[in-house]
Amino acid sequence: MKPSLFDYCSPTSVGEVVAALVADPGAMILAGGQSLVPAMNLRLASPTRLIDLKNVADLADIQVDNGVIKIGAMVRHRDLELNDEVYAANPLIRKMMRFVAHVPIRNCGTVVGSLCHADAAAEMPLLLVLTGGTVTAVGPDGSRDIAAKDFFQFHMTTSRAPDEMIVRANIPVLADGAGYAFHEFARRQGDYAIAAAGATVSLDGDNRVTRARVGACGVASTPVLLEAVEQAITGAQLSQSTIADAAEKAKDAVTAPDDMHASTGYRKHLLAGLVRRVLGEAGQRAAGGAIK
């Protein structure tokens, strides 16, 4: 199939992008196009106008500033993945990005584009939720930062207003000494995850968990924080037994119905296993040795 007819414009400033969105409520923004163009070809998306960001200045910048990694709307996946300053600031990012599709797609697709596409099984939305990041939106009334927990509302649905443009994603630097991990299960390398889990863990000198964030994707209509798991390990001495008990609590977060890829029951079983793996690996990194 081919897309329906649409107008095209290539503005040179964020203000022009916002003006185009205001003028045409059916317009959509084109960044990397790795999600939007296939959706258009399948007539799942039928924009009346494409607003191409390729000529908008200063959207391809990556900055590590005051504890935050700032990622412009035209930053390609691969550029972020290979950025050594970003890796030093938060190595979880590179760990997760290696699971995003395939290298040719990461060469073209954009990080912010993936966030705005908001696929519930995609890695970048989970990264934003897991790290407690934000996105910066610019509209006719100015700019605002939207927390990850408020940005993703449903599968492929966000709280961005129709006349707003997301100009930047903001991901916090990993806390000093924190361990991190990410694992996912997909039928083939590069496919969307049937289930995925990530974690960051901070420990004190007695291996007690002082702070933990644990999240998952592919198991609900949005990426989710596994708050029951976080509560189960926070304040506890991290051990294989503690991890195993906490991982079982992840099952309650699975709300995805049975589909052609997996049943709800299988996803529950799978997620519990993935959570055990990420907590063990993150704890080992934080402790500097094996968790017993």
What was the pLDDT predicted at 239?
Answer: 95
Residue 98 DSSP SS3: coil
CA distance 257 to 255: 6
CA distance 270 to 272: 6
Examine the domain organization and report whether 279 and 186 are in the same domain. Answer: yes
User: Which amino acid is present at 206?
Assistant: D
Statement: residue 291 has pLDDT above 90: no
Helix (H) or strand (E) holding 62: strand 62-65
Examine the domain organization and report whether 279 and 221 are in the same domain. Answer: yes
Which residue, of 172, 205, 229, is where some domain finishes? 172
User: The domain spanning residue 23 has which CATH number?
Assistant: 3.30.43
Examine the domain organization and report whether 40 and 79 are in the same domain. Answer: no
Total domains in the fold of the chain: 3
**Rounded mean pLDDT, 5-31:** 97
Statement: residue 275 has pLDDT above 80: yes
Q: Could you tell me if residue 57 is inside a domain?
A: no
Q: Could you tell me if residue 25 is inside a domain?
A: yes
- Which region holds residue 236: left if phi is over 0, alpha if psi is between -120 and 50, else beta? beta
Q: Give residue 280's domain range.
A: 179-286
Which residue, of 145, 172, 199, is where some domain finishes? 172
Examine the domain organization and report whether 204 and 224 are in the same domain. Answer: yes
Quick one: pLDDT band at residue 190, thresholds 50, 70, 90? confident
Which residue, of 120, 150, 172, is where some domain finishes? 172
Q: What is the dihedral of CA 173, 175, 176, 182, to 10 degrees?
A: -90
What was the pLDDT predicted at 236?
Answer: 97
Statement: residue 200 has pLDDT above 90: yes
Helix (H) or strand (E) holding 287: helix 264-287
**Rounded mean pLDDT, 246-254:** 98
CA distance 212 to 159: 26
Residue 63 DSSP SS3: strand
